[in-house]
Amino acid sequence: MLDVLNFLKKKEKPAEIKHLVISIKGIIEWAKKNEKPLEEVFLRRNKLILDLVNLIIEKDIPIFTIYILSESTYLKSKEPDNLIQTTKAQTQSQNQPMTQAQIQAQKPEYQIKAFEAGEETDNKEKEEYGENEENEEYEENEYTQLTESLTEFFNKLANEEIIHNKKVKISVLGKWYGLPGMVVESIKSVIDKTKDYDSFFLNFCVNYDGQEEIIDAFKLIIRSVEGENINEYLVNKNLIKENVYSSYFIPPDIIIETGIDHKYSGVLLWDSVNAKIFFIEKLFPDIDKDDVEKILQNK
């Protein structure tokens, strides 16, 4: 956070809004509602994100965070029945515990409900099994297109002129390292290509959950306490802030939630205490930068 604060102090005229957050909701829902292929909707999403980045730079807002993918959107790893045994075997062979990062890095698996064959299996169960199998295949197809779209998006973003001309530093928050390798590599690339920039800060929350962010912060603090690196009585709000994913950034001034559910997504949950929250009651593909600009003007 110190680097960002030093950057803000150097600005001749500090921006009124220093950190804007927007949560993307309704991509899949919009595709189904409008009977559009997912590929087309993801391209629409990507263009809108770039439009918003241009708007943020135009408004001279130094920090912009986009909640692009929830951890619960297909991507939250489902632990197979044998994961415990597998973990124990690896622990014994390596003589050290398996880290949370290693567990999260397991490729998400879709568990298909199985029915025991036999005389007691009736036609209804068979129909339910077939429906579940179709749903799993449909979700796996969505998952594949979703991860491919993220890879394409970050690869393209790494070469966008505005990112380099305006020296926009890109960071990714969340458990993105648990996604397929092609996504991870595209994220690493865009982070590396912008690591020395400091005029604007663009953050993406990917495979992210606000509550998990706080839990992970507490895990780090507990390890420090157990290792006697810090005293438990020194645990306070500032220490927690130092251990959340967004530790380097000041809290948001404004959080914009999209979607028709009128619910807070939990993005940057620890830092959201004093933020103003605005709702745009549209699915994300239906909004445009004018919707966001109106909020910025009437904050």
Domain assignments of the chain as residue spans, ordered by start? 2-82+145-297
Taking the C-alpha atoms of residue 215 and residue 229, their distance in angstroms, rounded to an integer, is: 19
End-to-end CA gap in the chain: 25
Taking the C-alpha atoms of residue 85 and residue 166, their distance in angstroms, rounded to an integer, is: 50
- Distance of alpha carbon 245 from the chain centroid: 11
Taking the C-alpha atoms of residue 75 and residue 180, their distance in angstroms, rounded to an integer, is: 10
- The pLDDT, as a whole number, for residue 265 is 96
- The pLDDT, as a whole number, for residue 51 is 97
C-alpha distances in Å from residue 217, one per residue of 76, 82, 235: 19, 28, 11
Question: 154: how many CB neighbours lie within 10 A of its CB?
Answer: 25
- The pLDDT, as a whole number, for residue 228 is 81
- The pLDDT, as a whole number, for residue 121 is 40
- The pLDDT, as a whole number, for residue 131 is 56
Taking the C-alpha atoms of residue 45 and residue 29, their distance in angstroms, rounded to an integer, is: 13
Tokens of 112: 């298909």
Name the packing angle between helices 38-58 and 123-157 (round to 10°): 40
The pLDDT tens digits along the chain (299 residues) read: 445 555 555 555 556 899 999 999 999 999 999 999 999 999 999 999 999 999 999 999 999 999 999 886 655 444 333 333 332 333 333 334 434 443 344 334 332 233 333 344 455 554 555 556 666 776 788 889 999 999 999 999 999 999 999 999 999 999 999 999 999 999 999 999 999 999 999 999 999 999 999 999 999 999 999 988 888 888 999 999 999 999 999 999 999 999 999 999 999 999 999 999 999 999 999 999 999 999 999 87
Token match 């197809």: residue? Answer: 141
Phi/psi-derived region of residue 228, left when phi > 0, alpha when psi is between -120 and 50, beta in every other case: left
CATH architecture of 2-82+145-297: 3-Layer(aba) Sandwich (3.40)
- The pLDDT, as a whole number, for residue 113 is 32
Phi/psi-derived region of residue 249, left when phi > 0, alpha when psi is between -120 and 50, beta in every other case: beta
Taking CB atoms within 8 Å and a gap of at least 24, the contacts of 57-60 are 57/162, 57/166, 57/168, 57/200, 59/15, 59/17, 59/293, 59/296, 60/15
- The pLDDT, as a whole number, for residue 132 is 62
- The pLDDT, as a whole number, for residue 227 is 87
- Least Cα distance to 139 among 120, 173, 111, 114 occurs for 111
